[in-house]
A = this chain, B = another copy of it.
Amino acid sequence: MIIGQRNRLQYIILGLLNQRPQTGYDLAKAFENEIGEFWQAQHSQIYPMLKRLETAGDITHEDTITGEKLAKKQYSLTPAGHEKLVTWVGEPSPELSATKDEFILKLYFIKRSDDPRLQPMLQEQAVLHRAQLAHLQQRRETVFPDQAAIDGAYGHYLILDHAIGREQYYVDWLTKFLG
């Protein structure tokens, strides 16, 4: 029902490159920032995928130099890559999101509401999720200061809004059970 992440990484990379040409390093940053709330990938996954996509003809790169000799590879979409991206976005997404939450798992094994471990666990998570919520709200303020910014990257705004609401729910839920 929930399973399966069949090579989505390639599409994310295509989507990011569709916005603007960028380096593998830039892409890795995107996974720490705007994308990171809903997908994770390290540079060790990204660089090989860039090679694969280039071999497949979906992207190309241009070598540039920063300063004296720092080599960069600026990747960009080919028409084939753009086509592949558009097709993917247009397909249905019939699978529910897969969440892996270690804290919630531990909760499952707390059998009684008066278990002495319960309240500290909830407290710990509340700290964690309040911080994350504050971080996301801060980012919304800086990335989307006005309506023009929202109109210019509506999808980005939507997913940031979704992430904030999700964290808000998480904090509210924890608070509901904090003594």
A residues with CB within 8 A of B: 1-3, 5, 8, 11-12, 15, 18, 32, 34-40, 42, 85, 88-90, 92-113, 115, 117, 121, 124-125, 128-129, 132, 151-156, 158-159, 161-162, 165-166, 169, 173, 177
Among A39, A97, A103, A161, chain B packs the most CB atoms within 10 A around the CB of A97
Return A130 CB to nearest CB of chain B, in Å. Answer: 12
A142 to B64, CA, bound (A): 62
Among A36, A88, A102, A117, chain B packs the most CB atoms within 10 A around the CB of A102
Return A112 CB to nearest CB of chain B, in Å. Answer: 5
A169 to B159, CA, bound (A): 14
- Inter-chain contact A132/B96, CB cutoff 8 Å: yes
Closest B residue to A121 using CB positions: B93
A156 to B103, CA, bound (A): 13
- Inter-chain contact A110/B165, CB cutoff 8 Å: no
Q: A40-B2, A112-B151 are in contact. Are A89 and B103 (CB under 8 A)?
A: no
Among B18, B99, B109, point to the contact of A37 (Cβ < 8 A).
B99
- Inter-chain contact A8/B105, CB cutoff 8 Å: yes
CB neighbours (8 Å) of A34 from chain B are 108
A129 to B12, CA, bound (A): 23
Among B1, B97, B110, point to the contact of A155 (Cβ < 8 A).
B110
Closest B residue to A15 using CB positions: B109
Closest B residue to A3 using CB positions: B40
CB neighbours (8 Å) of A162 from chain B are 104, 107, 173
CB neighbours (8 Å) of A125 from chain B are 93
CB neighbours (8 Å) of A90 from chain B are 117
- Inter-chain contact A36/B1, CB cutoff 8 Å: yes
